[in-house]
Amino acid sequence: MESTDKAPYALIRATGELADGAAKLAEEIGATAVEAVLAAANRTLVRRGATAALGAMRPRPAEWYAFDAADQATVDWYPQGLTGSTDSGGIGVPAFLASWYFKPQAGERGIRLTFLSPRTLRYRHALLVLAKPDGSYGPINIHAGGIAVHGDLLYVADTERGLRVFDLGNILDLRTVQNDLGDPDRIGRQNGKFNAFGYRYVIPQTDMWQLAKSGPHFSFVSVDRHGGTPRLISGEYSEDVSRGWVGRWDLPFAGGEPAEAYLMGHAKIQGALSQGDTWYLSQAGDSTRNGKLLVLRGGAWQTRPFPIGPEDLTVQDGKLWSLTEFKDRRIVFGVAL
């Protein structure tokens, strides 16, 4: 990790009409909480399922959960980001949150957020949306390569723009205003009905932190709660070993330059997380080859085994957690720190 100029990674606030559009929707539909979404979970994780995701990894993770058969098989949706109740500090039950992006065969359905309970092994998807001033909303077409939650605020990596922000105190339940979930092939308000491609819950974007100058990319996000001041971490995936960077901003987030910025010196980093002076980097292989966990501790790098297709990183229950993206190999897994 080599210290580098912080100025290229500065972020400025660009809220625009986002908050107004989200507030208008919340006023009409009413908000619910993360705990309520988990209580209404409609899918089931398989504990220690989808073992193909582990490939040649030895030893195996301390724990892992596989998404259900439909989510394993889909070629439309791909999991990317991971965060959880420990990052938040405000979610009242143990939970993981995962982001997925839509790789359309036709049309665009944007990005979604999954709420998972490690207690009940139940989960549910919600749609992240862009609210409009007229009280409607539409999909958000980004990769959502990483997510992190601090308090009620969910930060989502927008590759070329910076960080999008969603308020998890502003989850909207369409069932509170209508008896069905609308047209599964439509999104937004039509003929007095709310549609969200069949999703029950929508979460409108409320804020935006945008790059002051174009150039760097934002590929992943995480939270470092080690020590006195929590910090938000973000950085860039690159196949060029000289380009991938990572930065840390103090929380609560106020934009500007990161407090620290580093060149990672490693290619294909899908997620980065620090615990004080120790760094963890999730390095991709390919769709059939195991990735690696790179650990910088005491000034020395260590390489540890990781599954196939590892992505974003978070810490929960004293373990380092990530998730995998490829078809039939989609798990959320935890390893020792």
Report residue 134's pLDDT band, with 50, 70 and 90 as the boundaries. confident
- What sign does the dihedral 180-81-13-86 (CA atoms) show? positive
pLDDT, position 191: 87
- 3-state helix, strand, coil split of the chain in percent (to 5) is 10, 45, 40
pLDDT, position 108: 87
C-alpha span between 176 and 180 (Å, rounded): 10
CB atoms within 10 A of CB 279: 20
pLDDT > 90? residue 133? no
Domain of residue 139: give its range: 2-336
pLDDT > 90? residue 199? yes
**For 212-256, how does the pLDDT look when each residue is reduced to its tens digit (9 = 90+)?**
999 999 999 999 999 889 999 999 999 999 999 999 999 999 999
- Indicate the number of domains in the chain: 1
pLDDT, position 178: 92
pLDDT, position 192: 86
Chain mean pLDDT for the chain: 96
pLDDT > 80? residue 21? yes
Q: Considering only residues 135 and 259, tell me which one the structure prediction assigns the higher pLDDT.
A: 259
CA dihedral 262, 267, 270, 274 (to 10 degrees): -30
